Amino acid sequence: MQYRRLGKTDLEVSEICLGTMTWGRQNSEAEGHAQMDVALDRGVTFWDTAEMYPVPPEEARFGETERIIGSWFRKTGKRGQVILASKILGPDSRFKTIRDGKGRFTRANLQAAIDGSLRRLGTDYIDLYQLHWPERSVNIFGRLYYSHRPNETFTPFAEVLDVLGEAVRAGKIRHIGLSNETAWGLMRWLHLAEQGLGPRVASIQNCYHLLNRGFEVGLAEVAIREQCGLLAFSPLAMGSLTGKYLDGARPAGARMTLFPNFSRYMTPRAQEAIAAHVALARKYGLDPAQMALAWVNSRDFVTATIIGATSLDQLKSNIASIDLTLPPELVKEIEELHKVYTIPVP
């Protein structure tokens, strides 16, 4: 395993980060425990979760993934071997009974969310605490176009940083991060920290993969120059870059078999782009999933690639992508495909 510095902090995190959002829905508690055992044994010391997991989210399962991680910590006593990240959810109409039902980043909501995660995780501290998505309207989750809402209100960033700073001083969280954020948002958070108004953002967790390289447009430069690297989620585009859904295939137990509403990667254009990348991997004798992950691992603005799996075989193969270096001629062909399929899936 390889390790990188998390932002400007003193933490070294594994370049492969263990994603957990299937535990409690697609995976049982015992399967989640087995994945944690395998990941840690292979040097994956950076784990990411969220209070709303598992996914697809629903109120009845809220916090279940954190609870599963907490039960593993209690069973193994290995909390100190893990750099643990979690997140507070933003505004979402699916969580009407969670706190005030509005998902605003108010003082009361932030404090309650942090304490709730600590309780479920069975730990005294969270290494990286992230805002899962902005309170304001931004172009995320499949939207490319930004539609401004001039009368929209949201909790001032400085107030949020003040509360998070209190949590840092109390020892409940060590560092903060953002998720699904824009270049403007990230720069504003960083600027306020420079003014001494709260802790500095250490990372940004956004979607990034061969089919959606939107992060490169504005955020990549910010990530590098500001030392606030990307934690790339969905690097396999919900598993579609494995090729397992091509030609209408729906493998038993697979995410898009169980949850057909996840249709973003099933459009004709997306399937055409996926088929082209899968064919390229096979041309070089590579596993398509490992090629896709190795490509993300190699980006200079990426701190860690967040992998997820529902089986131990998938997990082991995904972790092994850290040992794969793509030949320059293959990378060149990837760039040629990118010209044809620039962003086939937002």
326: alpha, beta or left? (left if phi > 0; alpha if psi -120 to 50):
beta
Q: What are phi and psi of 4, to 5 degrees?
A: -135, 155
Q: Identify the sign of the CA torsion 152, 233, 114, 95.
A: positive
Binning the chain into helix, strand and coil, the percentages to the nearest 5 are 40, 15, 40
Cα(120)–Cα(29) distance, integer angstroms: 14
The rounded distance, in Å, linking the Cα atoms of 269 and 209 is 16
Q: What is the CA radius of gyration of the chain?
A: 19
- Residue that is written with structure tokens 């954020």 in the block: 181
Sort 131 into a burial class: Cβ within 10 Å, 0-12 / 13-18 / 19+: buried
- 187: which 2 tokens? 């720069």
CB 128 within 8 A of CB 306: no
CA–CA separation, 19 and 63 (whole Å): 15
**53: annotated active-site residue:** yes
**Residues forming a β-bridge with 157:** none
Catalytic residue among 3, 53, 145, 208: 53
List residues with catalytic annotation: 53
